[in-house]
Structure 1
Amino acid sequence: MLCWGNASYGQLGLGGIDEEIVVEPRRCEFFNGKVLRDVGCGRRHTVFLLGDGTVYTCGCNDLGQLGHEKARKKPEQVVALDAQNIVAVSCGEAHTLALNDKGQVFAWGQASDGQLGLGNIEECIRVPRNIKSLSEVHIVQVTCGYLHSLALSKRGQIFSWGQNKYGQLGLGLEGPGVSTPQVIQSLLGIPFAQISAGGAHSFGLTLSGAVFGWGRNKFGQLGLNDNKDRCFPSLLKTLRSQRVVYICCGEDHTAALTKEGGVFTFGAGGYGQLGHNTTNHEVNPRKVFELMGNVVTQIVCGRQHTLAFIPSSGKIDSFGLGGNGQLGTRSTCNRKSPAPVKGLWKAHNDPTPIEAEIEQLYCVKRIYAGGDQSFAHCQCPQNVSPPDDLRRHNCDQHVLTLKDDLIQKWLSHGHGRLLPEMTDEIDLVFSSASCLNGSFLSSSHPDHYCTSSKCSGVDANMARVLFHRLIQPDYPHISQQVAASLEKNLIPNLSSSPPDIEALRLYLTLPQCPLFSNPNTYITLAIPFAKAVISLKDAPLKVLGNWWSQIEPAVFQGLVELYKEVVVYLLRMQKVGIPPSEHRIFTCFLSTCLKFLDILHSFNRLQHPSPPTPATLPHTTPHPHHDPER
């Protein structure tokens, strides 16, 4: 482990050194022979997570942020977490969060603004405590702002708590903070891949690269072309087409990494932390041109500095505030454009040098920054694995989606009665709009990063294949659970005004599920689904219409045929005879299906108008979507 920057509180973990600042990477001997999993950097403290799930902290402990009362200058174990297998950590200005392998969150440190989520009114909590109000939710990611916290659940909800002076909780109002986690309702249904928090601003990033920001915006750190704070999440329209895959925040600036390895920065630039060779603030995302020509695979933000890792050369570039040595350039000067961090770096795929040189060379695995400190987790050249690539999402850390391996797992346990954990998992996926909206994403051209009002980003054929693999006569318990979750939880809670186009995808994929074409579930699934569609406001319905016009004719035709069948079924039921008390309900069902068919027909007609009469154009063939019988 190499570290550099402010050492005055012991936050670099180097022990009792004399220097207050370390201006170039220095080896932290504590980590020799240990496997490192994650690092969280606070304003003046640091948290290290080892591969065995144990947590070590060092630095300032004025508000209990270390979680122990041992020495502060070198990493010491947080013994209170000994029974937990911790998988992720994050630090605020003076508080710390840790996430265990069961999705539970532990918090300690400063509590003045409710940032621990414990509902308490104490100034600080010096020993880690479980956030009980999240115990029913499986959390997969946590991130801390200075005085607020965010968590992402497996079912796609973003929770926020703590200070709300600038609207950084995204709950729709500025002002009083909250001391227990709240769901950001306005983001429900969107499939999130990542969350990130800065000093007093927050971001959510979707699986397809849409970026939502909220909170403080004094310097343009939300990238929305102005300086107004936002208390509701706002979409950064300028980044939607840039294929963003990772986002990180400093105190008042933001950096985004694209799938191609490009870097955009925006917000406060007074120290050069945006890397644009100026000290201007930027209210719009702007590409860091000096990094172009290089593929960047890792970016991190400190308080007022930024680091970028370039695997082809094995080198780290830094820019921004340098007064505490946090740039690692052997100088305390600020840098307005990327400058190399000093060190003998080696790209992981370069030939291994002769033995004599090995000692001095470092292969970067992962970089970290926060406060005024920076870290590089490195490997010896002789036993190198590739460096981490933040452009690849870790599926354990985002919303759960329906994939081949998950279906296989359910089927392998699904012949008899389902195990409780399988039941819970099936229920989680089929009760959550976020999970279904993040499933079946297209990897062909155009892929799901091109999602727009014209392109859904989903592969309807993949949806059909996977649904048919899951819903089989041999696995009745699975089918029953899927049907129950859709009927009781998902469909009744669909919004007439979804927060984003990515929240509309399930309207394309769900009808591919064989349960919809089973007459036994027409009343409980197919008709309520049609009702949800006809309840949509004009704007989302128009997007859905665009998407229908793009799907394969057979898929569209299948949808029409399905609802024709439902209409015939309802007419037969009425003919056979139903109690007078139910006549009104059946008429209502019939009306719903006919309205739905009418919507399909109108979109089809708009897209493919009726051809002229044969007398005018004898050889005209109608478009395959166009069926005059409809």
Structure 2
Amino acid sequence: MEEIEVIESSESKEEEQRVWSWGAGTDGQLGTGCLRDELSPQLLQLPFSVSALACGGGQVFSWGRGTSGQLGHGDMANCSSPKPISFFEDYSVTQLSAGWNHSGFVSDSGCLFTCGDGSFGQLGHGDYISHYFPRKVSYFINNNVQQIACGMRHSLVLVEDCLGNQVYGFGSGKRGQLGISLDKIRSFSLPCINNGFEDVEIVSISANGDHSAALSADGHLYTWGKGFSKMCDSYIPQRLSSSLCFLKAALGWNHALLLTGGGEAYMLGGSTHGTLSDPEKMSPVKPLSENSKEAALEKVSGLDDTKVVQIAAGAEHSALVTDSGIIMTWGWGEHGQLGLGNTCDQIKPRAVSLDDEVQSNDAAFQVYCGSGFTYTIRTLSLSS
């Protein structure tokens, strides 16, 4: 996810919502109306409520860098404040994703739309053309698309059909991130079904950088593409050899965060800029095959007995939300994306202070990461 934000607006008279952003902002990706980095959380004045946000069911707004048409406004201009995407006035968007220079949108009828840079085929239209307005991906015209996940130059799509849930990939495939062939593929411009899930029920997909991942219904993590911690690339999905049951995965450029059903946060791979909370513990384990290795899975340190309810990963930084509504960040901090008031890297999670923060059992927090910036949404229930 890079310098683009795409959100769905929602209307709720029983909720009060506040949104903060911080970190890299020179392309307008913080939505503050200013073109500068912010080292501390900035409270945004938004004329709508947010039901979903993708850094990278309702009206869709976008802002940030638009040089490839990824904002969907019909031009290549940056936008420093939220602007509605007029194309979706007659659609209800239920899920969306922002890649480095392209975006994807899923409607309530299961249709897929993409826009932005198409030079690697990552828009799925069978060509390498960029589009400045969202365009329907005709390949899925008779399928029920559930999710899209946009990486740097590739896309994954989760589709429900008569055979169950299927994963498709298109775009750049040189690191194996498409999962469609054991051979090296520079790029593929049409959706092609993934080879590794014939007997697996997939419920969610993730993409970032040259990484791809999926979670199965029974809580197993599968990864493919660029190898973590300088391990070999994998051209087909590899199941992580762990007895843990995972509820959510978040991918960075060199690491992955995982959340278990018991509220424990784990990290896979990556020691750059402290994305691994304890770099000295990083070590390779027994290879899965002659051409593939698995990086060490370690529990995020410094949390003691804290229960984690949400995770997010940027390029080289990480964020989480605890069950008491505390936002914690660590990793790369050059642009202030940790929200700690400085540009220092952090090895272990540190709490972020939000102005006007409300500690309430009725307040729910969500955190989202772009490559070098972070968003937090606090929703406070006003019902008695």
Q: TM-score range by the shorter chain?
A: 0.7 to 0.9
**Is residue 3 of structure 1 aligned with residue 3 of structure 2?**
no
**Counterpart residue type for residue 333 of structure 1:** C
* Alpha-carbon distance in structure 1 between the residues aligned to 2:359 and 2:279: 27
Name the structure 2 match of 1:619: none
CA distance in 2, matches of 1:278, 1:53: 46
CA distance in 1, matches of 2:111, 2:343: 41
Equivalent residues of 2:65, 2:78 under 8 A apart: no
Alignment match, 2:83: 76
Q: What does residue 171 of structure 1 align with?
A: 180
Partner of 1:37: 51
Q: Tell me what 1:337 maps to.
A: 348
Residue 133 of structure 1 contacts residue 181 of structure 1 at CA under 8 Å; is this kept in 2? yes
The match for 1:14 is: 32
- In the TM superposition, what is the alpha-carbon distance from 1:218 to its structure 2 partner? 5.2
SS at match of 2:204: strand
> Any conservation in 2 of the 1:319–1:336 contact (CA below 8 Å)?
yes
| 8 Å contact from structure 1 (residues 274, 319) kept in 2 | no
Question: Contact 1:319/1:335 (CA < 8 Å) preserved in 2?
Answer: yes
Richer in strand (by share) = 2
CA–CA distance in structure 2, aligned partners of residues 364 and 376 of structure 1: 10
User: How far apart are residue 346 of structure 1 and its match?
Assistant: 3.6
Give the SS at the match of 1:271: helix
Question: What displacement does 1:111 show?
Answer: 0.4
Distance change in 2, residues 1:71/1:61 (3 Å): closer
Is the Cα–Cα contact under 8 Å of residues 270 and 280 in structure 1 kept in the other structure? no
Change in 2 beyond 3 A, CA 1:37/1:65: same
- What is residue 608 of structure 1 aligned with on the other side? none
**CA apart distance, 1:190:** 1.1
Write out per-residue CA displacement over residues 257-299 of structure 1, whole angstroms, 9 at most, x where no aligned residue.
0000111112222101122266968721111121230110100
> Does the C-alpha gap of structure 1 residues 189 and 136 become closer, same or farther in structure 2, counting only changes over 3 Å?
farther
2:336 is aligned to 325
Distance 1:129 1:292 in 2: 47
Q: Say if 2:66 is the partner of 1:61.
A: yes
Alignment partners' CA distance in 1, 2:345 and 2:277: 11
Q: Secondary structure at the match of 1:82?
A: helix
Q: What letter corresponds to residue 369 of structure 2 in structure 1?
A: A
Superposed structure 1 runs of 4+ greater than 4 Å apart: 277-282
8 Å contact kept, 2:271–2:279: no
* Structure 1 residues 191 and 58: CA distance shift in structure 2, 3 A: same
TM-score by length of 1: 0.53
Q: Is the 8 A contact 1:156 1:189 kept in 2?
A: no
Q: Name which of 340, 349, 362 aligns with 2:361.
A: 349
Q: Does the Cα contact within 8 Å between 1:211 and 1:235 map onto a contact in 2?
A: yes
Structure 2 Cα separation of the partners of residues 151 and 292 of structure 1: 37
Cα deviations across residues 232-275 of structure 1 (Å, max 9, x unaligned)?
A: 111111x2x11111101011211110000111112222101122
* Pairing 1:112-261 to 2, within 5 Å after superposition: 112-122=119-129, 124-154=130-160, 155-172=164-181, 173-217=183-227, 219=229, 227-237=231-241, 239=242, 241-261=243-263
1:202 is aligned with what amino acid? S
Distance between the aligned counterparts of 1:188 and 1:28, measured in 2? 45
**1:257–1:76 CA distance, 2 compared to 1 (3 A):** same
1:538-617 equivalences under 5 Å are: none
Distance apart, 1:211 and its partner CA: 1.2
Change in Cα spacing, 1:330 to 1:364, as seen in structure 2 (3 Å) is farther
Gaps of 5+ in 2: 1-18, 285-294
Counterpart Cα distance in 2 of 1:26 and 1:126? 29
Which residue is 2:289 aligned to? none
Q: 2:15 corresponds to which residue?
A: none
Deviations 1:604-628 (A, max 9, x none): xxxxxxxxxxxxxxxxxxxxxxxxx
Q: Which structure exhibits the higher relative contact order, with contacts defined as CA atoms closer than 8 Å and separated by 6 or more residues?
A: 2
User: For residues 373 and 63 of structure 1, what CA distance do their matches in structure 2 show?
Assistant: 20
Do structure 1's residue 291 and structure 2's residue 300 form an aligned pair? no
Q: Count residues in correspondence.
A: 349
CA distance, structure 2, for counterparts of residue 85 and residue 41 of structure 1: 19
- Structure with more helix by fraction: 1
C-alpha separation between the residues in 2 aligned to 1:109 and 1:369? 20
Map 1:209-608; keep pairs closer than 5 Å. Answer: 209-217=219-227, 219=229, 227-237=231-241, 239=242, 241-276=243-278, 283-312=295-324, 314-344=325-355, 345-349=357-361, 363-380=363-380, 383=382
CA distance in 2, matches of 1:279, 1:24: 31
**1:107 maps to 2:114:** yes
What value does the CA root-mean-square deviation take over the aligned residues? Answer: 1.9
Q: Give structure 1 stretches of 5+ with no counterpart.
A: 43-51, 221-226, 351-362, 386-630
TM-score between the two structures when normalised by the length of structure 2: 0.86
When residues 319 and 85 of structure 1 are mapped into structure 2, their CA distance, relative to the original with a 3 A threshold, is same
